[in-house]
A and B are shown apart, each in its own frame.
Chain A
Amino acid sequence: MPFPALVLAGITVAFFALPLVGLLWRAPWSNAWAYLTDDTALTALRLSLVTSLCATALSIVFGVPLAWLLARVSFPGRGAVRALCLLSMVLPPVVGGVALFFALGRRGIVGQYLDEWFGITLPFTTAGVVVAQTFVSMPFLVITVEAALRLLDPRLEEASRTLGASRWYTFRRVTLPAIRPALVAGAVLAWARALGEFGATITFAGNFPGTTQTMPLAVYLSLETNPEEAIVLALVMIAISFGVLLGLRDRWFGSVDRSAQVAA
Chain B
Amino acid sequence: MTLAARIELRLGTLDLQIELTVEPGEIVALLGPNGAGKSTVLRCLAGLEPIDDGRILLGGTAIDDPAANVFVEPEQRPIGFVFQDYVLFAHLSVLENVAYGLRARGVAKGEARERAGQWLERMNLTEYSSERPDSLSGGQAQRVALARALATNPRLLLLDEPLAALDVGTRAIVRRDLRRHLETFEGMRLIVTHDPVDAHALADRVVVLEAGRVAQAGTLAEVTAHPRTRYVADLVGVNLVAGEVVDGVLTTASGARVVIADAADGPTLASIRPHSVLVARGEASASSARNTWAGSIVDVDRLGERVRVVIDGELPLTAEITAAALDELRLGVGDRVHASVKATDIEVAPS
Contacts and interface: CB of A to CB of B under 8 A. Distances in A.
A166 B75 contact: yes
Given A155-B83, A162-B80, A163-B101, A174 B89 contact: yes
Interface in A103-147: none
A164 B105 contact: yes
B152 A163 contact: yes
Interface stretch (A18-26, A195-203, A256-264): A256-264
Contacts of B196: none
Given A162-B80, A164-B104, A263 B75 contact: no
Contacts of A178: 90-91
Contact of B74 (A162, A177, A262): A162
Contacts of B325: none
Most A CB contacts (10 A, CB to CB) among B80, B81, B104, B138 go to: B104
Contacts of B75: 161-166
A158 B79 CA distance: 13
A98 B47 CA distance: 49
Nearest to A158: B48
Given A158-B48, A159-B83, A160-B89, 15 more contacts: A155-B83, A156-B87, A158-B87, A159-B89, A160-B100, A162-B80, A163-B149, A163-B152, A164-B152, A173-B104, A262-B88, A262-B90, A263-B86, A263-B90, A264-B86
A261 B136 CA distance: 15
15 contacts: A155-B83, A156-B87, A158-B81, A159-B89, A162-B48, A162-B74, A163-B100, A163-B101, A163-B104, A164-B104, A173-B100, A178-B91, A261-B90, A264-B85, A264-B86
B161 to A, nearest CB: 13
A253 interface: no
B95 to A, nearest CB: 14
A76 B308 CA distance: 55
Interface string B89-107: 1110000000011001100
Contacts of B138: 264
The main secondary structure of chain A at its interface with chain B is: helix
A153 B84 CA distance: 13
B100 A262 contact: no
A115 B138 CA distance: 63
A264 B48 contact: no
B133 interface: yes
Interface in A216-264: 261-264
B165 interface: yes
A262 B87 contact: yes
Q: How large is the interface on A (under 10, 10 to 19, 20 to 34, 35 or more residues)?
A: 20 to 34
Contacts of B74: 158, 161-162
Interface centre among A156, A165, A166, A264, by most chain B C-beta atoms within 10 angstroms, is A264
A262 B77 CA distance: 24
A62 interface: no
B194 interface: no
A264 B141 contact: yes
A29 interface: no
Contacts of A155: 83, 87
Nearest to B97: A263
B336 interface: no
B132 A263 contact: yes
A169 B104 contact: yes
Nearest to A178: B91
B33 to A, nearest CB: 21
A163 B74 CA distance: 8
A263 B132 CA distance: 8
B94 to A, nearest CB: 10
A263 B133 contact: yes
Interface in B30-75: 46-48, 73-75
Given A156-B87, A263-B90, A165 B104 contact: yes
Nearest to B86: A264
A226 to B, nearest CB: 51
B73 A161 contact: yes
